[in-house]
Chains A and B, each alone.
Chain A
């Protein structure tokens, strides 16, 4: 009798075991690009309508421990469970210092300028050292939080290009994704042309892409620099007049004149669009053959407030546009070539439908977006 009891118990155990096994195998998880881990869903299409290939930020690995790089489950320094807030930019710079090759924010070739502080006339969004509320032009922005990489970028992923935040300093400026004018970076052609990189592409940016992106981008900057958000002929909230910053017309957008990250003497241009590198290049190679010291002294930003993330030195950007738009009637610089024939090295006569005549125009004006 007891033998039968034991065999029935054994049978029951086996049945139970197989049921659990069946359940367990049914719950087996197969990761897909859109659902890399249980409970984590990632958009499969990016904001350009392409297959989402942003694998570094956002698509965390199934065995990730990366959350713990920035967050502490029980011992955070902030309500978002951040730990070691002070070292945030160091964490980002673990890769973005050039040791991963691309997207080096300390380099001199990025569309956002540079975070390299070692050169003359440098100015930048000083992450880790200033309060967000200290932004020039801030009135409504009273944020006492420290400016960090994550003030503008979302390390977890974003529908905006370059992982730009949708909400900055507590202000949600737009629901439409910001697209930037991205082109494949020729410096990384080997990566971009590789067919085995699951689509990794390294892009260069020259600023916001289309008209809507330009105004959106201005709104993005204005979350902190709120009174600088001005249209033509309007007074700011502080009672001043300001150059237009929020239009999609050429030269009337924050990014027309300023870098997002920062600037220095190697990036600054003069009204003709020339850089220090152009001036020190030998005459035989189309440069001026100046010494580096002379070129630096020429390009140095001497304005009282500093170089303020500008793309052009001092106020030279004004003159790049205002020979032909609200012209200043000042003599144009000497140059090689014939401006009437369109061969002027620095400027040429261009027909203005607004003023109904030929007007001297810097060639560089075409590079101002």
Chain B
């Protein structure tokens, strides 16, 4: 091969690589590409306990209620301390923000937490009855613009495809907004019927855009289609029709295979079900050892199928993958 041909090929490769990566950066394609890469290179095998995040010795977590991953950092609502703690993936403290109170940037019961594409942080406060939006540096930007005051007592909070999903515990509803604050959908109302809730505590959306709502007071998870039509109940019994296995279910999340994970708070377990509703595994169990849980609550599964669970009495977030 001629020398010049080699140089031409080499520079073409450099130009194409630069074009690819600048394309990803400028068009903000990273969040779209990551799941595809993750799916092409699955972790595989049974999820096992990997690590726990406790916070620093001076500022340990106290009653952590929910967890999410935004970018490459892990965000935890440190509820009893009325703050948010941010960790890197090995559990080192990156940032803490928030304090007790009712004003901007203050909390009385920080609960559901989620991030948007710009990596802004949304925090639901159950007692203050609002959702605060912070920059990724922890600076208060604004309250979520809920003009008609549809949100009274927000619990579970997730953002999928630029849509904000929030459960309202006292009004027993799931509310869906666009990020400009326009209400797009509402499911629920008090009751035991299909499509009704008692104290819904968590929400998740799978890749088929089905919506999963933890109906804590009725000891079940209800599944809805994208338009909010009731599809089925998951409660640990066959077909969801028998007596519930869950006791005070809380966090819910779906991995890349469509396996649904549900935290059963008072039985200290995470139950996992495949698409046909068969139980595939149980994680946790009551205790203080590694991999055990004591009154677990919030659940988040990232795009690499790592499972994050808040363990309220053990004052930690445990990670399984």
Interface, chain A (partner B; CB < 8 A): 61-66, 68-69, 84, 87, 90-91, 94-95, 97-102, 106-107, 118, 187-188, 190-191, 193-198, 200
Contact = CB atoms under 8 A, between A and B. Distances in A.
Contact of B199 (A90, A100, A187, A194): A100
A101 B266 contact: no
A99 B63 CA distance: 13
26 contacts: A61-B243, A61-B247, A65-B247, A65-B267, A66-B266, A69-B268, A87-B294, A94-B248, A98-B126, A99-B65, A99-B201, A99-B250, A100-B169, A100-B199, A100-B216, A100-B248, A101-B153, A101-B170, A188-B190, A190-B171, A191-B190, A194-B190, A194-B196, A196-B192, A196-B196, A200-B198
A110 to B, nearest CB: 14
A108 B244 CA distance: 32
Given A69-B268, A196-B193, 9 more contacts: A61-B247, A63-B245, A66-B247, A90-B63, A90-B295, A188-B190, A191-B191, A196-B192, A197-B198
Q: How large is the interface on B (under 10, 10 to 19, 20 to 34, 35 or more residues)?
A: 35 or more
Nearest to A87: B313
B265 interface: yes
B114 to A, nearest CB: 17
Nearest to A189: B190
B141 to A, nearest CB: 25
A198 B196 CA distance: 14
B228 interface: no
A191 B198 contact: yes
Contacts of A94: 248, 265-266, 295, 312
A100 B169 CA distance: 7
A187 B286 CA distance: 35
- B-side interface mostly: loop
Interface of B: 63, 65, 100, 108-109, 111, 126-127, 153, 155, 169-172, 189-193, 196, 198-199, 201, 216-217, 243-245, 247-248, 250, 265-268, 286, 294-295, 312-313
B278 to A, nearest CB: 18
Contacts of B153: 98, 101
Contacts of A118: 100, 108
Nearest to A187: B170
B190 A98 contact: no
Contacts of A194: 190-192, 196
Contacts of A87: 294, 313
B172 A190 contact: yes
Contacts of A200: 198
A95 B248 contact: yes
A101 B217 contact: yes
A190 B267 contact: no
